[in-house]
Chain A
């Protein structure tokens, strides 16, 4: 099982965003035709719309998915860690994210400086969360995944995947 976790460790996702966990649910994220694998590079333009996130898991279980950027505003100076991009709750197992309740609408990556990691974390819920609408995180910056998981009794993640994205140079300036 560690095979699936090592890229997360090396990429410092485990440690900075989540704690060490054992993946138990399969999660497949794709932006259009591009499948996301750990550490792959996705252009912001390609990730502007929310991805298709298919999960396995038991049909009776509900899952929470969130997406954050721990490298905001810049990887060398992540003062705004983490920047929240998306929260979907009550996703039934075996389906995809569209079947859940959107607590925080999807916002595509817009890294101002440097190459940012964008982490998608899947938790298994103990029960249906109804106050998700009532108490969404106040703001996108300064989000903390661990705290969020603690507050909603989500425990350790069951699946994590991350990709990299960096600002696309504007058309005029042609860099070598």
Chain B
């Protein structure tokens, strides 16, 4: 996707073959585009956005964003952030998109409709009057930002370095600061990260690595932590089918219930591990005991056999002695004896 630059930016370099439409407004990001523009920029992908799943929508935004970010390294900050920060920003930016489970299965149309009907969405308060007048702004005219924010996909984030992302949630295209740290991980996923992230670090790394680009990999790692963890847990730690952020396997269940299930499994696993350790201990202990027992018994056996031999020997000797004792006198008797001395 080409982003020939917004205001006050040097013209971009020639970019990989994407549509040459000017896709940026003030905010030099994909998100400030309306759906219409975005769609056309993508060269009208097969599907109409309306019937696209939220998953796919976000994915396409993501791809667009990432190519944008790559193509326009200088565009991301108005505060002339240092280059390394620029490096970070695209990554951070990308790392922030997550999708609440409730939304993932819906199509864009449905979400849009919900938003319209429940117009009182606080994040959109400032931006979108929930009045009938607003309805007239069709999906096509809503910027991606607005849409996503209102849909609850995004939340303002407070990144350490870069310029004010902590700007007020209601996305104002005009006031949009550069680094769109607008899409940090959703709240509901946060609590799950820490306990599970340690144990899940491995699979995530793999998934992240299998993800799209190198520049993008941190994001999948991070967000996968949120979205993908459940998938991993629930599918017995098998990696999600696609290394996407939004883990196509996201269920339509509510996050809190999911958490409990995950927790329960975790606890069960820990208990099982302990039980296995105990079992091994038991086995080892018994083994040692048996070994010493065997050694003892062998010793005793040898002793006893020796004793037995001795006893036998003694017995034999005794008998012999007895015999000799008895025989002694008789043998003497038997021996020739001089009873009479002869005349000579």
Contacts and interface: CB of A to CB of B under 8 A. Distances in A.
B271 A76 contact: yes
Interface in B258-304: 271, 274-275, 278-279, 281-282, 284-286, 288-290, 292-293, 295
A76 B275 contact: yes
Interface in A129-170: 164
A128 B283 CA distance: 39
A94 interface: no
Interface residues of A, number: 17
A12 B281 contact: yes
B292 A11 contact: no
Nearest to B293: A37
Interface stretch (A2-10, A47-55, A79-87, A99-107): A2-10
A39 interface: yes
Contacts of B278: 75-76, 115
A11 B275 contact: no
Contacts of B289: 7, 37-40
Given A76-B271, A76-B274, A7 B282 contact: no
- Interface size class for chain B? 10 to 19
B299 to A, nearest CB: 11
Contacts of A40: 286, 289
A139 B295 CA distance: 41
A76 B274 CA distance: 7
Contact of B292 (A7, A115, A164): A7
B288 A10 contact: yes
Given A3-B292, A7-B292, A38 B274 contact: no
Interface in B89-122: none
Interface in A96-118: 114-115
Contacts, number: 46
A108 B66 CA distance: 70
Contacts of A8: 285
B285 A39 contact: yes
A4 B285 CA distance: 11
B271 A11 contact: no
Interface string A1-42: 001101110111000000000000000000000000111100
A4 B274 CA distance: 26
A12 B292 CA distance: 18
Nearest to A2: B292
A142 to B, nearest CB: 22
Contacts of A11: 281-282, 285-286
A17 B299 CA distance: 31
B55 to A, nearest CB: 41
B23 to A, nearest CB: 59
Interface string A59-98: 0000000000000000110000000000000000000000
A71 B285 CA distance: 16
Contact of A7 (B271, B274, B288, B295): B288
A7 B275 CA distance: 18
Contacts of A114: 275
Contacts of A12: 281
A43 B295 CA distance: 26
Given A76-B271, A76-B274, A76-B275, A115 B290 contact: no
Contacts of B271: 76
Given A11-B282, A39-B282, A75-B278, A6 B293 contact: no
21 contacts: A3-B292, A3-B295, A6-B288, A6-B292, A7-B286, A7-B288, A7-B292, A10-B284, A11-B281, A11-B282, A11-B286, A37-B293, A38-B288, A38-B289, A40-B286, A76-B271, A76-B274, A115-B278, A115-B279, A115-B282, A164-B286
Give the top 5 A-B pairs by smallest Cβ distance, nearest first. Answer: A39-B286, A11-B285, A38-B289, A7-B289, A10-B285
Given A10-B285, A11-B285, A164-B282, 15 more contacts: A6-B292, A7-B289, A8-B285, A10-B288, A11-B282, A37-B290, A38-B285, A38-B286, A38-B289, A39-B282, A40-B286, A40-B289, A75-B278, A114-B275, A115-B282
Interface of A: 3-4, 6-8, 10-12, 37-40, 75-76, 114-115, 164
